[in-house]
Amino acid sequence: MAVEGLLAQGVAFITGGGSGIGRACAEAFAAEGAKVAVADRDLAGAEETCRTVMAAGGQALALKMDVTSAADVRQALAEVVEKWGRLDYAVNCAGIILPMTKIGDLSDDDWDRCLAVNLTGVFVCLREQIRHMLPQARGSIINISSGAGLKGSAGHAAYVAAKHGVVGLTKGAMLDYCRSGIRVNTICPGGIDTPMAAEIARNASEAGIANDLSDFTFTGRLGRPEEVANAAVWLASEKASYVYGASISVDGGYTAA
């Protein structure tokens, strides 16, 4: 584990860090010298991520947290600041996907749940992270949206609405705090080889829809979680010091067409 690196001596807070892109971000941030707090409603997953980070020589803290609970988010961030004294970086990665459902068949409960996790959860985390970063006049926050935040996807209207909302929320936050030393940006992953991608494939199969990789990418393969994490590290670092409010696609060309 690098003592020095792009994020050396910084403190990172990563939601959804128990698996997939969140886990890859935790590992990548730690490899670049950051201390990482791994928050997930699945504590066992967060702890497994932390074990991997610490086995490589990094510092990590596992936190059980539900992004739909403002009290959970405030408590988790308070623990991070109490332990390490500050908050420098955040990646808001927690998200869910619903089974494919046309709007006419979408229930109120499913709509509310999808928006609560994928959009309101990002808002709550972003708000509380900014409050911790303001006193030090420094910070970088990366919200994980999706290719579905830039274009439509049949059968996933609630997810598309939430992920478009994340892009808009990022732009609004950037305008509010760009002169306060805090950068806020978005990454829009396409088809990435994660548990969520496997869930999408199962949902498609159950709906009788062929799951062709061409639906997610023009490269002939799904992306790897670490390919998204590498973009997050760059955005967090001073290498991206003039990048504000951007929506960066990491999607094998999915949104180019």
Give residue 124's identity as a one-letter amino acid code.
V
Average pLDDT over the chain reads: 93
> What is the predicted pLDDT for the residue at 203?
65
pLDDT value at 127 more than 80: yes
- The confidence band for 215, taking pLDDT boundaries of 50, 70 and 90, is low
> What is the predicted pLDDT for the residue at 201?
66
Alpha-carbon gap, residue 31 to 1, rounded angstroms: 5
> What is the predicted pLDDT for the residue at 131?
98
> What is the predicted pLDDT for the residue at 214?
54
> What is the predicted pLDDT for the residue at 254?
87
Average pLDDT over residues 44-68: 98
> What is the predicted pLDDT for the residue at 195?
76
Half-sphere exposure for 112 (CA within 13 Å, toward CB) = 3
Alpha-carbon gap, residue 117 to 235, rounded angstroms: 23
> What is the predicted pLDDT for the residue at 205?
62
What structural domains and CATH numbers belong to the chain?
Answer: 11-256 (3.40.50.720)
pLDDT value at 199 more than 80: no
pLDDT value at 217 more than 90: no
b/e code 141-180 from CB counts within 10 Å (16+ = b): bbbbbbbbbbeeeebbbbbbbbbbbbbebbbebbeebeee
Closest CA to 255 of 211, 223, 232: 223
> What is the predicted pLDDT for the residue at 216?
66
pLDDT value at 204 more than 90: no
pLDDT digits (tens, 9 = 90+) for 68-120: 999 999 999 999 999 999 999 999 999 999 988 999 999 999 999 999 999 99
pLDDT value at 207 more than 80: no
Could you give phi then psi for residue 222, rounded to 5 degrees?
-75, 150
Active-site hit among 159, 177, 244, 254: 159
At 12, list the tokens: 């990172």
Alpha-carbon gap, residue 183 to 170, rounded angstroms: 10
> What is the predicted pLDDT for the residue at 198?
72
Q: Please say if 254 is a catalytic residue.
A: no
> What is the predicted pLDDT for the residue at 196?
75
> What is the predicted pLDDT for the residue at 209?
59
pLDDT digits (tens, 9 = 90+) for 8-40: 999 999 999 999 999 999 999 999 999 999 999
Rounded to 5 degrees, what angle do the CA atoms 200, 202, 203 make? Answer: 65
pLDDT digits (tens, 9 = 90+) for 134-189: 999 999 999 999 999 999 988 899 999 999 999 999 999 999 999 999 999 999 99
> What is the predicted pLDDT for the residue at 74?
98
Alpha-carbon gap, residue 207 to 193, rounded angstroms: 21
pLDDT value at 206 more than 70: no
Q: What percent of the chain has pLDDT over 70?
A: 92
